Amino acid sequence: MTSIQKPENLKHGDTVGIVSPASKIDEKHIKSAVAQLEALGYNVVVGTYAAGQHHTFAGTDKQRASDLQKMLDDLEIKAILCSRGGYGTLRTLQHVSWDGFKKNPKWVVGFSDITALHSSLHNMGYASIHGVMTAYFTNEGKPSKSLQTLMNALTGIPNKYTFAHSKYNVTGEASGVVVGGNLSVLLSLRGTPSDIDTRGKILFIEDLAEYLYHIDRIMMNLKTGGMLSGLKGLIVGGFAGLKDNDTPFGMSYEEIILDAVRAYNFPVAFNFPAGHQPENYAIKMGCEAKLSVTEKGTEFHQK
């Protein structure tokens, strides 16, 4: 695999951009995020179509792509924050050139549908950040813990997370590059240039509002497609709002995931504080991490 290049750390007074490469978003969330970032000492540029609307999207594919392209090419922009996920990032990427970015790499931040961006960047050899987006920068009017972990990642401060043991965990230790993101989006990338090679890496997964049988369908795709057998470790984040059919599937999402990896020998950590939930802690995708899963709890450390 091509070695991963980390963009430069964000510095006080730097300029960051906000774009919406997928679904539309209420402008109030963008304005709140701008206020938070400015209070932290950063300049903020908001994309022309960041608060736009075209059907379910924040503008047409080409409009969303034009915003992203300007941020990628602008030498003054040191980090690009995606306002939200939803759906549409892969459509946007069809109209983007990476030539300018490769000459001047910068951090790209987001989660959910932004998994398509993370995977594309990983395959090109660049690190990115799976982290909180604009609607969750604050908690009861104050900067959220999720935002604090994001700013740590952007500025080069190591993040170390300790969280409670789950009865579904598989104990063990692992070191490796972290890849992954939203499980449904990972499935949608299979067979495309953004499909990732997971061999020898730690895979992170999370999802929202899916049917249990669909979680099983995806895990079976990853298993039969060879994406699970060579992992160093598996990290399972939030799986919120899951649904079942009138005829119950018969397994919890934890049991579905464990069933898919039962034949392999690597640690599995459930309840990781990331995903579609208030605790959405930053992960540097494409970067090394240490994972320790014990009966007392789980630790995740990343420089």
Active site residues: 112, 206, 276
DSSP code, position 8: P
| Cα–Cα dist 227/10, whole Å | 33
- 3-class state of residue 17 by DSSP: strand
Q: CB of 105 within 8 A of CB of 7? A: yes
Q: Pairing mode, if any, of strands 142-143 and 138-139?
A: antiparallel
First-last CA distance in the chain: 21
Q: CB of 131 within 8 A of CB of 110? A: yes
The alpha carbon dihedral of 113, 114, 116, 118 has a sign of negative
Phi, psi of 115 (to 5 degrees): -50, -35
Q: CB of 85 within 8 A of CB of 147? A: no
